[in-house]
């Protein structure tokens, strides 16, 4: 690919070649290595799982953050109700629901 051999090879040491380890590095799959010493060998892959395509991948730049939601009179935060206020509201809603059910029952009887 791109006039490049698929593997590059090196020896771990040039001083004592009889004890050196042969190392192969893949040029097509960055991060793939094979090494051998005598009759023992092993393969290892430490990469991103992407084949070399001749250029480095750069992800697109993320969009700019959005501006904060405009604060208007109808869109503002309020304080949480106290437990007493919440209980009173709940009772009011239950009363309204009961009244609605009574009117529906009276309409059904008619």
The per-residue pLDDT for range 18-59, each reduced to its tens digit, is: 889 999 999 889 899 999 988 899 999 998 887 877 776 678
pLDDT score recorded for residue 43: 95
Does the predicted TM-score (pTM) go above 0.85? no
Residue 62 located in a structural domain: no
Tell me the per-residue pLDDT of 2-12, one tens digit each, with 9 for 90 and over: 677 889 999 98
**Does the residue 73 lie in any domain?**
no
Q: Is residue 58 a part of any domain in this protein?
A: no
Q: Does residue 18 lie within any of the structural domains?
A: yes
Q: Is residue 61 part of a domain?
A: no
Query: What does the DSSP assignment read for 54-99?
Result: SS---PPPPPPPPPPPPPBTTB---PPPPHHHHHHHHHHHHHHHHH
The reply to whether 95 falls in a domain is yes
More confident residue, 70 or 88: 88
Model confidence over 68-80: pLDDT tens digits? Answer: 777 776 777 778 8
38 three-state secondary structure: coil
Domain that holds residue 41: 7-45
Total structural domains within the chain: 2
Chain-centre distance of CA 78, in angstroms? 34
Closest by CA position to 2, among listed 59, 51, 57: 51
């Amino acid at each position: 690919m791109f006039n490049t051999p698929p593997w590059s090879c090196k020896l771990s040491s040039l001083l004592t070649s009889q004890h050196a380890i042969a190392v192969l590095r893949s040029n097509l799959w960055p991060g793939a290595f094979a090494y051998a010493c005598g009759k023992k060998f092993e393969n290892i892959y430490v990469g991103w799982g992407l084949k070399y395509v001749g250029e480095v991948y750069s992800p697109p730049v993320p969009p700019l953050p959005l501006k904060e939601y405009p604060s208007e009179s109808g869109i503002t935060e309020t304080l949480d109700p106290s437990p007493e206020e919440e209980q009173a509201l709940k009772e009011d809603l239950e009363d309204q629901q009961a009244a609605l059910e009574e009117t529906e029952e009276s309409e059904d009887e008619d």
